Amino acid sequence: MKQLALDIAQAPAPALDNFVPGRNAEVVVALYSMANAASGERFIYLWGAPGSGRSHLLQAVVDAARADGRQAQMFDSGATKFGAPDDALCAVDDVHLLNEEAQIAVFNLHNRIKAGNGTLLASGNAPPAQLKLRADLVTRLGAGLVYQVHGLNEEEKVAALKRHAQARGFQLSQEVIAYLLRHAQRDLPSLLALLDALDRYSLANRRAITLPLLRELLDATAK
Q: What is the pLDDT of residues 90-126, one digit of tens each?
A: 999 999 999 999 999 999 999 999 999 999 999 999 9
> Within 13 Å and on the Cβ side, how many CA atoms surround 34?
31
Is 93 within 8 Å of 82 (Cβ atoms)?
no
Contact residues for 211 (Cβ-Cβ < 8 A; gap 6+): 173, 175, 176, 179
Q: What is the pLDDT of residue 187?
A: 79
Maximum distance among all alpha carbons in the chain? 61
Q: How far is it, in rounded angstroms, from Cα 85 to Cα 121?
A: 15
Q: Among 148, 177, 201, where does a domain finish?
A: 148
pLDDT above 80: residue 206: yes
- Give the residue-averaged pLDDT of 194-215: 91
User: 121 and 208, same structural domain?
Assistant: no
User: 195 and 101, same structural domain?
Assistant: no
**Candidate from 4-13, 45-54, 208-217 with smallest mean pLDDT:** 4-13
Q: Among 106, 133, 148, where does a domain finish?
A: 148
Q: What percent of the chain has pLDDT over 90?
A: 67
User: 186 and 81, same structural domain?
Assistant: no
- DSSP bridge pairs for 120: 43, 90
Pairing of strands 119-124, 145-148: unpaired
User: 214 and 181, same structural domain?
Assistant: yes
User: 177 and 158, same structural domain?
Assistant: yes
User: 38 and 101, same structural domain?
Assistant: yes
| Structural domain harbouring 121 | 25-148
